[in-house]
Chain A
Amino acid sequence: KQEVTQIPAALSVPEGENLVLNCSFTDSAIYNLQWFRQDPGKGLTSLLLIQSSQREQTSGRLNASLDKSSGRSTLYIAASQPGDSATYLCAVSTGANNLFFGTGTRLTVIP
């Protein structure tokens, strides 16, 4: 069974710092990996999707990498802002829109 782990569970950084969130998964037979953010009491917002054949994706200040063979992904956030404060979730797809989610990293960016 696919298991997804995210480290650290919580992270606090001062505004302007660059940071890295980590995600690992146990079964490399994935179709894609997605990063989401979740604000308190709200649904999920898709940030980046990396297909299994890709190594990385970039969107603005966000860069996500994927190493399928080692079962790892990282989300790099440059020049963090208070508005980046949220819980970040990674999820891997193993079938028809069946996502296995990690437990999330709660990020706080301190002004």
Chain B
Amino acid sequence: KAGVTQTPRYLIKTRGQQVTLSCSPISGHRSVSWYQQTPGQGLQFLFEYFSETQRNKGNFPGRFSGRQFSNSRSEMNVSTLELGDSALYLCASSSQGQVSTDTQYFGPGTRLTVL
């Protein structure tokens, strides 16, 4: 089974631009979560989608948004980029969205650099 894939792997943008990142979960998985990893803040939860519905959202500004398609693929969008948005963005998928038992499988991440 193919793992979680994320595209692109690397991205360079300038302040004020917007960016869209893509995540394809493991086949059959219906839950996709997004995380931001920075040296200063570590790994922080952005949001989670299950069957095209956002179930949970972390403490990030409205510039961060996402969506999930019927095939479970997910995209996240960041508008009006700021220097502080430079980070590794990770997505993770799990099969049933069962909180207590589901293992999350992570993709390799997208490294976003904002200049």
Task: Enumerate chain A interface residues (CB-CB to B < 8 A).
Answer: 31-32, 34, 36, 42-46, 49, 51-52, 89, 91, 93, 95-104
Known: A43-B90, A43-B106, A43-B108. A97 touches B101 (CB 8 A): no
Q: A44-B92, A52-B100, A97-B48 are in contact. List 4 more A-B contacts (CB 8 A).
A: A42-B108, A46-B103, A96-B50, A101-B43
B56 proximity list for chain A (CB < 8 A): 95-98
Known: A42-B108, A103-B42. A51 touches B101 (CB 8 A): yes
Task: Identify which of residues 16-45 in chain B touch chain A, using a CB-to-CB cut-off of 8 Å.
Answer: 31, 33, 35, 42-45
The B interface, classified by DSSP as helix, strand, loop or mixed, is strand
B92 proximity list for chain A (CB < 8 A): 44, 97
Contact B105 A46, beta carbon cutoff 8 Å: yes
Q: List 7 A-B contacts (CB under 8 A).
A: A49-B103, A51-B101, A89-B43, A93-B100, A99-B45, A99-B104, A101-B44
Is B72 in contact with chain A by the CB < 8 A criterion? Answer: no
Is B99 in contact with chain A by the CB < 8 A criterion? Answer: yes
Task: Identify which of residues 58-78 in chain B touch chain A, using a CB-to-CB cut-off of 8 Å.
Answer: 58
Is B15 in contact with chain A by the CB < 8 A criterion? Answer: no
Number of B residues contacting the other chain (C-beta, 8 Å)? Answer: 28
In the assembly, what is the distance between CA of A49 and CA of B98, in Å?
13
In the assembly, what is the distance between CA of A100 and CA of B9, in Å?
24
In the assembly, what is the distance between CA of A103 and CA of B44, in Å?
10
Task: Identify which of residues 82-115 in chain B touch chain A, using a CB-to-CB cut-off of 8 Å.
Answer: 90, 92, 94, 97, 99-109
Known: A89-B43, A99-B45, A101-B43. A43 touches B107 (CB 8 A): yes
Contact A51 B100, beta carbon cutoff 8 Å: yes
**Residue of B33, B45, B105 ringed by the most chain A CB atoms within 10 A:** B45
Least CB distance from B94 to A in Å reads 6
Contact B106 A34, beta carbon cutoff 8 Å: no
